[in-house]
Amino acid sequence: MMGGDVVAPLSPDVNSLSRVELRQLRYFVTLAEELHFGRAAAREHIVQSALSQQVQRLERALGVPLVSRNTRRVELTAAGERFLADARQILAQVERAAGAVQDAAGTGHILRIGVLDEGYAAVRPVLHELMTRHPAVEVHIVHAGLPDQRRDLIEGRLDIGVGRASDVPAEIATEVFRLDALGVLVPEGHRLARLTAVPVARLAAERLLLPDESQAPEFRRFLTELCRSAGFFPESFRGSVQGLRAGADLVADGLCVMVAPQSAGPLAGVRWRPLVQPTPRYPWSLLWRAHDAPPHVGAVVATARRLSRRQGWAVSDIELAG
């Protein structure tokens, strides 16, 4: 099946059709998304040969080749392209049915929430109240930037996303729940640490650690536009890190400064000072599928609305979209 093997025409096996497994559908969908056996196997946490074998069995059961393989690339056949939509729909229906049964049995439901560090700090109080009010809900946090969140929400691998709702397709509904004050993290003893608030223009003289473009393009864009509004283009630190703590470590070592939301809270070894002139507030949104949202997504949105009003996170300007 790998390398330059020629895929022979297959004959449908009616008995085999009854033995098609959900994992075979899932493996095929993952392979169709990655178009690479190694990456698909890594995503499914299995060895490459096992994934290839299961896709072969699915092809034999259906009687048609779904994937064209050669030494350079993997492509879906015409039959594979058509089958992909049905396979995704089958997996989504099974997931919805399982959720409904769990709710009816009182066994709760798994919620998969995609978020990066900064967004987790913003949404953490929402999740705490949700789990207090709905103890049967099982929350799983998935480390994912907004580009991956958008894809995984549409394809059913995530239930909720957290981030700035920019460039969101029509299939995804969004709601701003928190307008988060932004500030600059500086080392102990830094000249900006002596100020009670830092004008954005003062960042022009600093080396700024910007978010990773591949993980948080919307946050990076927001900060770049903020600097430009103050009349300069930021001098960026040459490199990137993942996570607030890792970034704060670079700041504490005096290598750069870093913009972080107020919700991130205190971090050891650095000082957070609010930005002013202008005073930026970062819009954190919840994202979910506009149609066929899984159970308990409504409870997350309702909890966020309630906390936003109670805490004054967005005052009167909560915005709806989608």
Give the pLDDT mean for 52-76: 88
Q: What is the set of domains in the chain, with CATH numbers? A: 14-98 (1.10.10.10), 108-322 (3.40.190.290)
pLDDT at 233 over 60: yes
Q: What is the pLDDT of residues 120-162, one digit of tens each?
A: 999 999 999 999 888 888 899 999 999 999 999 999 999 999 9
pTM attached to this predicted model: 0.64
204 pLDDT tier (thresholds 50, 70, 90): very high
Of 321, 296, 320, which is closest to residue 308 (Cα–Cα)?
320
Q: Mark out the alpha helices in the chain (DSSP H runs).
A: 14-17, 22-34, 37-44, 48-62, 78-105, 117-133, 146-154, 217-229, 244-252, 297-311
- CA 298 vs. chain centroid, Å, equals 19
- Sequence-ordered list of residues with C-beta below 8 angstroms from that of 2, at least 6 positions apart, any chain: 37, 52, 69
322 pLDDT tier (thresholds 50, 70, 90): very low
- Sequence-ordered list of residues with C-beta below 8 angstroms from that of 43, at least 6 positions apart, any chain: 30, 34
pLDDT at 231 over 80: yes
pLDDT at 108 over 80: no
Give the pLDDT mean for 265-274: 92
Of 198, 159, 194, 136, which is closest to residue 288 (Cα–Cα)?
159
